[in-house]
């Protein structure tokens, strides 16, 4: 059983569905991939699955973006071989977007592809990373340079995992929810005001439904799916730049920076100022401008050495492949700096 474009199942439906998958596939070996923080999620997760083979193996990697590397991937492939994993083995990724991206990449490439399941435990992974079939690792200091489009066999979302999520990670996921609201034009004001204590299953379902809708239209990102990169051109550059400087930020914090830039470039100052009320712009030093532009040129969504942006004509009306010059981008960043 494969879910349609990895549309998730929520709560007890999710556990029932995953049990059904495990019964159906009857995997030769089950691997649970976690990071050093999400290891603790297993005490909640494992007892809920009647069909989980008691002989499962736990694969643990250090938490953080550094684990999305070729070295960690190679190590995991070696461990799979050591355990005699075959094409009927399954990997269950229990973690945030890092575990999802890494585990799906490992599974999609090992022996030309073995089954895998995403069990997102961070808000960001629930509303975004676990859905849509993209996976990948970083390479040569650049984000997601190696990866595939491969749908998981199942996605299970359990809100209870969020109880242990640190607040900056909650905000990181909130950033992607805001991105979805800007793109869809739905629930923007409501979501901008959302606090962790008010988050409901319905908020998650709305956000996931929007992403799934776009992915269904354009799985391979030939056209419309590119809109999901709103805020990610500057965002990815900022994320990798800060990581290289030794002062990493969350993925969502980088996306917020990117959303500020994209809204200003879109001429939507009102939306940008509303965003700044909740998540202020972080000043970008002038010395960072050239390295950030260089990174944007490397973005794999570009063609012919030009930087292409997703912008909004208005709330809920995205356009993509908009060519932005270095001058225009620099002016936007400097304008955001001077408004502080």
Ligand X SMILES: NC(=O)c1ccc[n+]([C@@H]2O[C@H](COP(=O)([O-])OP(=O)(O)OC[C@H]3O[C@@H](n4cnc5c(N)ncnc54)[C@H](O)[C@@H]3O)[C@@H](O)[C@H]2O)c1
Positions in the binding site for ligand X (CB under 6 A): 35, 37-38, 41, 63-65, 68, 95-99, 101, 121-122, 124-125, 128-129, 132, 134-135, 143-144, 161, 164-165, 169, 172, 250-251
Contact 120, 126 (CB under 8 A): yes
DSSP string of 259-290, one letter each residue: HHHHHHHTT-HHHHHHHHHHSPPPP--GGGHH
What three-state secondary structure class fits 319?
strand
Closest CA to 301 of 241, 242, 234, 246: 234
At 57 the three-state DSSP class reads strand
Bridge-based pairing state of the strands 57-61 and 9-10: unpaired
CB of 147 to ligand X, least distance (A): 8
Residue 326 near residue 289 (C-beta atoms within 8 A): no
Closest approach, Cβ 276 to ligand X, in A, equals: 22
Residue closer to ligand X by CB (options 300, 323) is: 300
Residue 282, beta-bridge partner list = none
At closest approach, how far in Å is the CB of 52 from ligand X?
Answer: 19
Least Cβ distance, residue 236 to ligand X (angstroms): 8
Pick between residue 32 and residue 336 the one whose CB is nearest to ligand X: 32
Question: Judged by CB, which is closer to ligand X: 245, or 290?
Answer: 245
Closer to ligand X by CB, 17 or 132: give it.
132
The residue (of 180 and 251) whose beta carbon lies closer to ligand X is 251
Residue 79 CB, shortest distance to ligand X, in Å, is 19
* Residue whose beta carbon is closest to ligand X: 97
Four-point Cα dihedral 165, 171, 176, 182, nearest 10: 150
């Amino acid at each position: 059983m494969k879910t349609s474009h990895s549309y998730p199942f929520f709560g007890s439906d999710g556990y029932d569905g995953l049990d059904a998958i495990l019964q159906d596939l009857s995997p030769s070996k089950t691997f649970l991939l976690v990071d050093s923080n999400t290891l603790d999620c297993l005490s909640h997760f494992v007892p809920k699955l009647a069909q989980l083979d008691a002989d499962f193996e736990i694969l643990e990697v250090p938490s953080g973006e550094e684990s999305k590397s070729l070295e960690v991937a190679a190590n995991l492939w070696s461990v799979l071989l050591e355990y005699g994993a075959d094409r009927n083995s399954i990997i269950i990724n229990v973690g945030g977007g890092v575990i999802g991206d890494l585990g799906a990449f490992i599974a999609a490439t090992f022996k030309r592809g073995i089954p895998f399941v995403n069990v997102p435990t961070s808000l960001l992974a629930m509303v975004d990373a676990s859905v849509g079939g993209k996976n990948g690792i970083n390479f040569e200091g650049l984000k997601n340079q190696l990866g595939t489009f491969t749908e998981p066999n199942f996605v299970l979302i359990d809100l209870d995992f969020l109880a242990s999520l640190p607040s900056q990670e909650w905000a990181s996921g909130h950033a992607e929810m805001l991105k979805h609201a800007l793109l869809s034009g739905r629930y923007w004001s409501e979501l901008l005001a959302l606090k962790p204590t008010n988050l409901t299953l319905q908020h998650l379902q709305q956000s996931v439904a929007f992403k799934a809708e776009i992915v269904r239209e354009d799985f391979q990102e030939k056209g419309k799916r590119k809109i999901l990169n709103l805020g990610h051109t500057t965002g990815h550059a900022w994320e990798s730049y800060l990581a290289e400087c030794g002062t990493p930020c969350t993925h969502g914090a980088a996306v917020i920076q990117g959303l500020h830039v994209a809204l200003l470039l879109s001429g939507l100052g009102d939306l940008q100022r509303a965003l700044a009320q909740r998540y202020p712009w972080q000043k970008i030093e002038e010395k960072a401008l050239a390295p950030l532009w260089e990174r944007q040129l490397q973005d794999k969504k570009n063609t012919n050495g030009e930087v292409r942006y997703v912008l909004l004509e208005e709330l809920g009306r995205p356009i993509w492949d908009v060519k932005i010059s270095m001058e225009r981008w620099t002016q936007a960043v400097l304008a955001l700096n001077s408004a502080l």
